[in-house]
Amino acid sequence: MGNREKIIRGAIELMNARGSAVGTSALAEHLGISPGNLYYHFRNREAIVAEILTRCADDLHAILDVSDQSEISPERFASCYVGGVRVLFEYRFLFSSALELVSSDASLTAAYRKFSETSVGQLKLALSLARAVAASERALTDDDARRFCQNMWLIWTGWPRYAQVNLGRDMDQTDQMECLRHLTLLIEPYVTPAFFQAVSEQAVQQFAQPPKTLA
Amino acid sequence: MGNREKIIRGAIELMNARGSAVGTSALAEHLGISPGNLYYHFRNREAIVAEILTRCADDLHAILDVSDQSEISPERFASCYVGGVRVLFEYRFLFSSALELVSSDASLTAAYRKFSETSVGQLKLALSLARAVAASERALTDDDARRFCQNMWLIWTGWPRYAQVNLGRDMDQTDQMECLRHLTLLIEPYVTPAFFQAVSEQAVQQFAQPPKTLA
DNA sequence: CGAAAATTAGAGCGTTTACTCTAGTAGAGG
DNA sequence: CCTCTACTAGAGTAAACGCTCTAATTTTCG
């Protein structure tokens, strides 16, 4: 693994632990390389964050993409949010320090907004396909469906920070499972019991398996 | 209004807009006072944030306190979360920049955790009292009730950042109303239609009125 | 008024920041 | 062996940081 890759991974690790404000010297020291070395691989500090954001967006969008489906299975539905929890935990500082990131750079702002907009849109599509299957008795207007997906995004991206900051957790598998439970609770009233049961079982099962994309 | 009060308000204003990372010189310039003046009124930069956190906690806890009630009216229930939205919007940077705040100082961490713990506890009490009234058909285990209140906290504290960062809003009354709608959507499945209807009407009505505590 | 106290301004301190620049190493191809 | 390219180290820069200090000003009160 080259230093470029080490820098990215080290930055994620350190920023997840201490917030996006970690400096270049702290990062270099953490990695055991010289501060100047960073600037051979990246134009500036912000370029590191930008690449991390891109990776996160790519990972998440690949998981949430259900545009090829006309109807969504409980298995696929579960994989959306089990996979989502994994990705959002891995890159959690992006959401914990969102205000700092966005107010520091204009191009990051645009990328960040596009990212969240696309994700919420994908969630909405998944929900509509799932609701077609679920045929729940509880109706949602179009505006409320958007709000529901935004709520889901808020819990999804907010829980890691909540667990870390408010509860002082150390961010292990247990915390990811708890995040899943929070999302489950949110979804439950809006799908049929049968669909919900199937999704829950699938979620637990998929969560027990190691993620696919890890080499 | 003395400079001490001006500093607090200016800090809230500036940090809400740009994140908690605003420096002492930027703050002084924003207020039209000298940087050194800050240190007459406050021991150090962190003391300013600590006082803001205390104020926020006091304001919110006063609004959420239902410990004197044995049963909660729709009016009181609505005032909890209408008032809560107001407070959390006013101090929104505390939640947007929580990771940065907490990782910078140990005593702030303790205060922040106590704050959120108490708030979620108060929410849980309000919910249990409301559910006694509402007698909904949808049961919640104790763990799920906690998760529900944590979800509420996440949306409550997360929405301002979402609106500001992800949607690029300018944080006016409309955004607070939208936050209310998000919370409403969360609550709806867990109370009876009659209670929900009463709470919704009360919420709209209370929201239209100016806040009581403003002198 | 006049003295004491409270408040303010602003220069300046040491430290840290993101970043640049130059000297130098490691390995591949000829 | 030599050279070229990819990469690394580390000293050094200007600016910004939180903060201290002193002198001046305003307010308070006998």
Q: Which residue is nearest to nucleotide C20 (CA to C1')?
A: A36
The dihedrals phi and psi of B42, each to the nearest 5 degrees, come to -135, 145
Provide the pLDDT for residue A121.
97
Q: Are A113 and B162 in contact (CB under 8 A)?
A: no
Distance A39 CA to C19 C1' (A): 8
Q: Using CA atoms, how far apart are residues B104 and A31, in angstroms rounded to an integer? A: 21
Label residue A3 exposed, middle or buried (CB < 10 Å: 0-12, 13-18, 19+): middle
Closest Cβ–Cβ partner in B113, B166, B185 for A144: B185
Q: Identify which has the larger pLDDT, A11 or A211.
A: A11
pLDDT band at B215 (very low <50, low <70, confident <90, very high): very low
Q: Are A122 and A64 in contact (CB under 8 A)?
A: yes
Nucleotides of C under 7 A from a protein CB: 7-12, 16-22
Q: Using CA atoms, how far apart are residues B197 and A60, in angstroms rounded to an integer? A: 38
Please give the distance of CA A7 from its chain centroid, rounded to a whole number: 21
Q: What is the mean pLDDT of residues A59-66?
A: 97
Is the CB atom of residue B24 positioned under 7 angstroms from any atom of strand D? yes
Q: What is the mean pLDDT of residues B137-143?
A: 87
B164, pLDDT greater than 80: yes
Q: Using CA atoms, how far apart are residues A203 and A126, in angstroms rounded to an integer? A: 15
Domains of chain B: 1-42 (1.10.10), 49-208 (1.10.357.10)
Nucleotides of D under 7 A from a protein CB: 7-12, 16-22
Closest residue, chain A, to B120 (C-alpha): A166
Q: Does B168 touch chain A (CB under 8 A)?
A: yes
pLDDT band at A212 (very low <50, low <70, confident <90, very high): low
Percent helix, percent strand, percent coil in chain B, to nearest 5: 80, 0, 20
A136, pLDDT greater than 70: no
* A154:B150 CB<8 A: no
* A165:B102 CB<8 A: yes
* A166:B112 CB<8 A: yes
What would the two tokens of residue A128 be?
A: 């509509």
Provide the pLDDT for residue B87.
97
Which of A66-75, A133-142, B9-18, B184-193 shows the lowest per-residue confidence on average (mean pLDDT)?
A133-142
Question: A20 to chain B nearest CA, in Å?
Answer: 8
Instruction: Name chain A contacts of B105, Cβ cutoff 8 Å.
Output: none
Helix axes A142-161, A106-134, angle to 10 degrees: 120
pLDDT band at B214 (very low <50, low <70, confident <90, very high): very low
Please give the distance of CA A189 from its chain centroid, rounded to a whole number: 23
Give pLDDT tens digits for B110-125: 999 999 999 999 999 9
Instruction: Name chain B contacts of A191, Cβ cutoff 8 Å.
Output: none
Q: Does A154 touch chain B (CB under 8 A)?
A: yes
Which string of b and e fits A170-204 if b means at least 16 CB within 10 Å? eeeeebbebbbebbbbbbeebbeeebbebbbebbe
Q: What is the mean pLDDT of residues B20-34?
A: 95
Choose the mutation target among B14, B127, B166, B188 for the interface with A, i.e. most A CBs under 10 Å.
B166
Q: Are A191 and A132 in contact (CB under 8 A)?
A: no
* A155:B151 CB<8 A: yes
Q: Does A114 touch chain B (CB under 8 A)?
A: no
Q: Which nucleotide is nearest to B2 (CA to C1')?
A: C7
Q: Identify which has the larger pLDDT, A69 or B138.
A: A69
Label residue B169 exposed, middle or buried (CB < 10 Å: 0-12, 13-18, 19+): middle
Mean pLDDT of chain B: 93
Closest residue, chain B, to A93 (C-alpha): B99
Which of A57-66, B174-183, B204-213 shows the lowest per-residue confidence on average (mean pLDDT)?
B204-213
Q: What is the mean pLDDT of residues B129-141?
A: 82
Provide the pLDDT for residue A135.
72
Contacts of A130 by beta carbon, 8 Å cutoff, 6+ apart: A72, A77, A191, A195
What would the two tokens of residue B173 be?
A: 């009354």
Instruction: Name chain B contacts of A111, Cβ cutoff 8 Å.
Output: none
Distance A211 CA to D6 C1' (A): 34
Q: Using CA atoms, how far apart are residues A125 and B185, in angstroms rounded to an integer? A: 19
Q: Using CA atoms, how far apart are residues B121 and A166, in angstroms rounded to an integer? A: 13
Q: Which H or E element spans position B184?
A: helix B173-187
Closest residue, chain A, to B183 (C-alpha): A151
Provide the pLDDT for residue B2.
86
Distance A145 CA to C1 C1' (A): 75
Question: B42 to chain A nearest CA, in Å?
Answer: 24
Question: A43 to chain B nearest CA, in Å?
Answer: 23
pLDDT band at A177 (very low <50, low <70, confident <90, very high): very high
SS3 B210: coil
Round to the nearest angstrom and report the end-to-end CA distance of chain A: 13
Q: Are A34 and A28 in contact (CB under 8 A)?
A: yes
Provide the pLDDT for residue A215.
40
Q: Using CA atoms, how far apart are residues B91 and B2, in angstroms rounded to an integer? A: 20
Neighbours of B70 (CB within 10 A): 7
Q: Are B27 and B14 in contact (CB under 8 A)?
A: yes
Which of A84-93, B47-56, B129-138, B156-165 shows the lowest per-residue confidence on average (mean pLDDT)?
B129-138
Q: Using CA atoms, how far apart are residues B30 and B212, in angstroms rounded to an integer? A: 29
A111, pLDDT greater than 70: yes
Instruction: Name chain B contacts of A167, Cβ cutoff 8 Å.
Output: 113
Distance A55 CA to D7 C1' (A): 24
Provide the pLDDT for residue B62.
97
What would the two tokens of residue B149 be?
A: 């209140």
